[in-house]
Amino acid sequence: MRHNLAMHMLHDCEHIDNLAINIHTDACVRTRFRSKGLSQAGGLSAALAQHDAEALVVWGEHDVTADPEAAIRILTEACPVLQTHIVRGAGHWVQYERAEEVNHLLPGWLGADSKR
């Protein structure tokens, strides 16, 4: 699991602690489906284009699953109401690796309905 976290989930190996290993192991053991085929199938931009709901997209700068800047560019073309944020120094598991920054974004996003 440590290797998987280092290769796919976290940018900075210093963030691989016992909690990360335990959470990731539990998630892998308990998964009810294999997501790789779904994640590689594409279709997110087409799905977003069918809806006018706002969404928050937060990506780690070093996410190995996609180029965040290119992905955000494609997704915002399909759905212009997306709010986007790239977290510098983070990998795929951005909410774990940079929890404080992600948590700082959420109150503003969750309160967005009251601003309209």
Q: Which CATH architecture has domain 2-115?
A: 3-Layer(aba) Sandwich (3.40)
Over the stretch 83-109, which tens digit does the pLDDT of each residue have?
A: 999 999 999 999 999 999 999 999 988
pLDDT band for position 113 (50/70/90)?
A: low
d(CA 92, CA 72): 14
Q: DSSP string spanning 82-106?
A: -EEEEETT--S-HHHHTHHHHHHHH
pLDDT band for position 55 (50/70/90)?
A: confident
Where along the chain do its domains lie?
Answer: 2-115
* Residue for token pair 């977003």: 48
Q: What percent of the chain has pLDDT over 70?
A: 90
67-87: average pLDDT = 91
Q: Is the pLDDT of residue 116 over 50?
A: no
pTM over cut 0.85: no
Sign of CA dihedral 9, 11, 16, 20: negative
* Residue for token pair 């006018």: 52
d(CA 62, CA 89): 7
